[in-house]
């Protein structure tokens, strides 16, 4: 089940050599007989779905499973050190000095009470024993190196004063402080918008060119791998499925699972309703691992197949034309935060209309006002100016017919209450008091979103990310809505889970005649699900129209910039775009 060759190339240039690695947590075998190598200066991506074992492997390279109760077998050599046999002191010297890791969530990796520069300086002092002044200067130097503007001043800032992209740059700076031979990046761009993602990937590429360090990239995003590495190792259920040069694996995958994984990736250049598979991919559904490609296809077709009662016979390109009545309308929406001179408008003069049975996609970078707009449409935020009208009537506060599916189901579900009780909340809010009827309705909703009625008494931590998002959808449906605002509903989910959630939303839309507002930074997903698209920047809509028109012929420079930052599955195209972005930054 393997393809490609090891990148180690020989002991004289080998930076990482893993042989027959296994990692067990109790009865769970998270990694099973995995072998691979990484040469000095090379870049390798571990790619796979959630639960494939990618992050477990990354942690094993630094001996992070030691003392956790995990059983680790096989051989691990990193920068000349035998990780399995190294003492605790030797491991501490390895971490940071020879090999450093950038974790997925910078907020949980940075101490909220200390300045960014102080945290970097502390790491540097642990490994180099230099003075505080020298460590402080080093912190400023690496912050400047990773593109933090005004590094001297910003080094005194705390993590909450940095944007998501800047926090990720700060983590990379911390990892670079001791000039490691190996950088391990675990999902470094998850939940970042496309332009910031492109900046982080360009930064990693530039640092590799300048320092000669090796890069091990852990990601569920195949497009991110295409942008960043020389070789790809595809994992599933803790095992290696395929391994080889990135261009070969992505253009001509040898294994069924790899083809299915690629088929599930939404394409920003594919018109809505177009098949996302082609050639030999269409015949893989009956083989081992089948269902990924099918999920991707259904995600497109289900959202496109809006109920015939809600749409016309179809447009010239075969897509359904939405002709339903306007159910939700916003006029001149403005929302300010802060007071006096510090006041700023997160949303400024936005007007839009959503028709029954259609999907309006809203895209833009972090800070563009997308989420604030979505919360005003639902009624969770009152506008500073303008109004929201439901069914032609001005609406004040939350209306049960307009519900929201939140970005982070973990924080939107009470960890101390069962998911069934959370789903039941809208029913009780409407006055339902019969507990038997409540439980019956919640059971129906759980089953409707692809879960089991028996899950009623389970708690959020017992579910995967995709399952928790299904719970959030069930809770929204409990109010019998006509409009659902989805705020980044598939961010941080792997492509197959993402396809399943999108397919579910499309199926519900088709059956119930729902209108959807799909807020996301993933432009490829938005194209596949949307009838119309609105592009937001700095609180305003800079471009809007039918999805295919906006994507195929963007008019606003900002829309063009967003589309140019979307990762390409072709490494050669990715390289050309990287050069173009670098030239634009210098100009």
Separation of alpha carbons 441 and 479, rounded Å: 11
| Helix, strand, or coil (residue 255) | coil
**Which pLDDT does position 4 carry in this prediction?**
41
CB 531, CB 322: distance < 8 Å: yes
pLDDT the model gives residue 522: 85
Q: What is the pTM of this model?
A: 0.77
Strands (E), 364-520: 385-390, 393-394, 402-405, 483-487, 515-519
Q: Which helix (H) or strand (E) holds 467?
A: helix 465-477
Element (H, E) at 435: helix 435-448
The 8-class DSSP code of residue 81 comes to: E
Say how many C-beta atoms besides its own lie within 10 A of residue 511's C-beta: 12
Residues 186 and 55 sit within 8 Å (Cβ to Cβ) = yes
Among 26, 27, 35, 79, CA closest to 57:
35
Q: Is 535 helix (H, G, I), strand (E, B) or coil?
A: strand
Which residue's entry shows tokens 């000039």? 179
Angle at CA of residue 179, ends 175 and 182, nearest 5°? 70
What domains can you pick out in the chain, each with its CATH number?
1-98+181-252 (3.40.50.300), 107-179 (no CATH)
Three-state secondary structure along 97-165? Answer: HCEEEECCCHHHHCCCCCCHHHHHHHHHHHHHCCCHHHHHHHHHHHHHHCCCCCHHHHCCCCHHHCCHH
Q: What is the gyration radius of the CA atoms in the chain, in angstroms?
A: 25
**Block residue for tokens 């497109």:** 300
Sign of CA dihedral 25, 30, 36, 41: negative
Return the beta strands (E) in 167-264 as ranges. 182-186, 214-219, 231-236, 239-245
Closest residue by Cα to residue 420 from 458, 453, 454, 456: 456
User: Could you list the mean pLDDT of each consecutive 10-residue stretch along the chain, which spans 587 residues?
Assistant: 41 82 94 95 92 92 92 95 93 89 79 94 90 94 89 92 83 89 88 80 87 92 86 95 94 92 84 49 33 40 36 37 76 90 89 94 89 93 93 84 84 88 91 90 92 91 86 92 91 82 90 93 90 94 95 93 85 81 67
SS3 content of the chain, % helix, strand, coil (to 5): 40, 25, 35
In this prediction, residue 87 carries a pLDDT of: 93
The whole-number pLDDT of residue 248 equals: 93
Residue 57 token pair:
């492997």
Q: Is the distance from CB of 496 to CB of 49 less than 8 angstroms?
A: yes
At residue 396, the pLDDT reads 78
Question: What does the block give as tokens for 190?
Answer: 């998850």
**pLDDT for res 166:** 84
Terminus-to-terminus CA distance in the chain, angstroms? 47
Cα distances from 472 to residues 226, 242, 484, 500, 505, in angstroms, run 32, 35, 11, 14, 12
Residue 247's alpha-carbon distances to 7, 253, 256, 544, in angstroms, are 15, 9, 17, 35
């Amino acid at each position: 089940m393997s393809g490609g060759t090891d990148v180690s190339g020989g002991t004289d240039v080998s930076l990482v050599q893993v042989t027959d690695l296994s990692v067990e947590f109790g009865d769970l075998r998270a990694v099973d007989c995995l072998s691979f190598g990484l040469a000095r200066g090379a870049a390798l991506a571990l790619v796979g779905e959630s639960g494939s074992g990618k992050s477990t492997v990354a942690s094993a390279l630094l001996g992070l499973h030691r003392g956790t109760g995990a059983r680790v077998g096989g051989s691990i050599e990193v920068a000349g050190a035998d990780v399995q046999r190294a003492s605790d002191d030797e491991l501490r010297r390895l971490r940071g000095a020879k090999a450093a890791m950038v974790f997925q969530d910078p907020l949980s990796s940075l101490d909220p009470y200390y300045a960014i520069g102080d945290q970097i300086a502390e790491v540097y002092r642990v490994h180099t024993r230099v003075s505080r002044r020298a460590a402080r200067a080093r912190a400023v130097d690496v912050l400047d190196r990773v593109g933090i503007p005004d590094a001297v001043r910003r080094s005194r800032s705390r993590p909450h004063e940095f944007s998501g992209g800047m926090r990720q740059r700060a983590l990379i700076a911390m990892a670079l402080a001791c000039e490691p031979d190996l950088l391990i990046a675990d999902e470094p761009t998850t939940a970042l918008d496309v332009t910031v993602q492109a900046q982080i990937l360009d930064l990693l590429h530039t640092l590799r060119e300048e320092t000669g360090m090796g890069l091990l990239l852990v990601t569920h995003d195949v497009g991110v791998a295409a942008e960043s590495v020389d070789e790809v190792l595809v994992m599933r259920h803790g095992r290696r499925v395929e391994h080889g040069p990135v261009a070969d694996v992505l253009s001509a995958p040898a294994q069924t699972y790899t083809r299915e994984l690629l088929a599930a990736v939404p394409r920003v250049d594919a018109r809505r309703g177009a098949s996302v598979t082609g050639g030999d991919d269409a015949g893989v559904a009956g083989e081992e691992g089948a269902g990924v490609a099918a999920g991707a296809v259904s995600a497109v077709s289900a959202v496109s197949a809006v109920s015939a009662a809600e749409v016309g016979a179809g447009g010239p390109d075969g897509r359904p034309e939405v002709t339903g009545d306007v159910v939700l309308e916003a006029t001149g929406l403005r929302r300010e935060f802060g007071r006096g001179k510090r006041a700023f408008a997160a949303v400024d003069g936005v007007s839009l209309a959503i028709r029954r049975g259609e999907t309006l996609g809203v895209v833009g970078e972090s800070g563009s006002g997308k989420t604030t707009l979505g919360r005003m449409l639902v009624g969770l935020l009152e506008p500073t100016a303008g109004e929201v009208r439901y069914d032609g009537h001005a609406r004040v506060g939350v209306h049960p017919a307009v519900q929201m599916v939140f970005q982070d189901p973990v924080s939107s579900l009470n960890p101390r209450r069962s998911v069934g009780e959370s789903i039941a909340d809208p029913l009780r809010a409407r006055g339902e008091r019969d507990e038997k009827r409540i439980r019956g309705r919640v059971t129906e909703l759980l089953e409707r979103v692809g879960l089991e009625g028996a899950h009623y008494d389970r708690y959020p931590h017992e579910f995967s990310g995709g399952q928790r998002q299904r719970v959030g959808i069930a809770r929204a449906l409990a109010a019998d809505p006509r409009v659902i605002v989805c705020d980044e509903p598939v961010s941080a989910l792997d492509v197959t889970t993402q396809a399943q959630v999108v397919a579910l939303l499309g199926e519900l839309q088709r059956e119930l005649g729902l209108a959807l507002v799909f807020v996301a930074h993933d432009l490829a997903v938005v194209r596949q699900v949307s009838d119309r698209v609105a592009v937001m920047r700095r609180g305003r809509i800079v471009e809007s129209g039918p999805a295919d028109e906006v994507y195929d012929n963007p008019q606003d420079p900002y829309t063009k910039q967003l589309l140019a930052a979307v990762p390409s599955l072709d490494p050669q195209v990715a390289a050309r775009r990287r050069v173009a972005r670098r030239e634009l930054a210098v100009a």
